Amino acid sequence: MADVDAFGQLVMKGGGICPLARTDILEDTEEEIQTDSNYVGSAQTAGTFVTQTLQSHTVMAAGISAENDMNYCVVKSAGKIKLALPVSGLNGGAGLPAALPYPKTLVSGDQVMAMATAAASRDISLSVACSNGEYHVFTVTPSGAAASGHELVSILTGLGVGATLQNRIVTHAFCMGGNNAANFSSPVYFVNGSGTPIASVTPNDPAVDTGKYEPCFAPIALNTRALVSTDA
């Protein structure tokens, strides 16, 4: 794995900008992207910069790009996911920054944490937003064919969608498909306890697509899972 460039911005209510950049984010490792010292004088944690410098502390839109591919990018607050941000990889960020379904207010110490991946990586990520304003990210790395589906699990706990988001309603989602364009044999399906799809999200190809939120309606029960099938 290599060190790569990652950059982007948080757009605040009223138009303030928190510029973000890092030239040495390690692929396949979740690392922090701090403020761009070329534009704000020093590299700082995003939440600290926003609360100390900008008039508004509420994030309305965002976009984070990585040199090869971005699996996911989140804002973490005290170890929990406050936001899951729109991302892009090889296509350079077309369409970013993109609006967030549920704006969130940052506090000092909130960190932008990104998982950049190599262009050959098969990491798949599913970023979701729920009607109560909660965000989460689920991932899986296919290692072969699975007609009945690979299950995506929480980046925090390793638990599935049902155990993580029981009684929530997913209203928006997007999926970054990694290096699986020739391997997918299904969208990402939210399935019920009987294995029947109740909602779906089509994965983005990082070579040409940007990951930003689209409408999705998925009531989550304890036995709900997120599955994606591959033929290799």
Strands 111-117 and 69-77: what pairing? antiparallel
**pLDDT tens-digit map of 42-81:** 999 999 999 999 999 999 999 999 999 999 999 999 999 9
**pLDDT tens-digit map of 187-214:** 999 999 999 999 999 999 988 899 999 9
Render each residue's pLDDT in the chain as its tens digit; 232 residues: 799 999 999 999 999 999 999 999 999 999 999 999 999 999 999 999 999 999 999 999 999 999 999 999 999 999 999 999 999 987 777 899 999 999 999 999 999 999 999 999 999 999 999 999 999 999 999 999 998 899 999 999 999 999 999 999 999 999 999 999 999 999 999 999 999 999 999 999 988 899 999 999 999 999 999 999 999 9
Distance, in Å, from the CA atom of 139 to the CA atom of 89, rounded to the nearest integer, reads 17
DSSP string for 86-131: -EESTT--TT-SEEEEEEEE--TT-EEEEEEE-TT---EEEEEEET
The pLDDT assigned to 167 comes to 98
**For the whole model, what pTM was predicted?**
0.96
Contacts of 105 (CB under 8 A, 6+ apart): 57, 58, 59
Task: Compute CA 109 distance to the chain's CA centroid, rounded to the nearest angstrom.
Answer: 20
Which DSSP symbol is given to 161? H
Q: Which amino acid is present at 194?
A: S
Distance, in Å, from the CA atom of 33 to the CA atom of 112, rounded to the nearest integer, reads 6
- 53: three-class secondary structure by DSSP: helix
Distance, in Å, from the CA atom of 148 to the CA atom of 30, rounded to the nearest integer, reads 29
The pLDDT assigned to 208 comes to 87
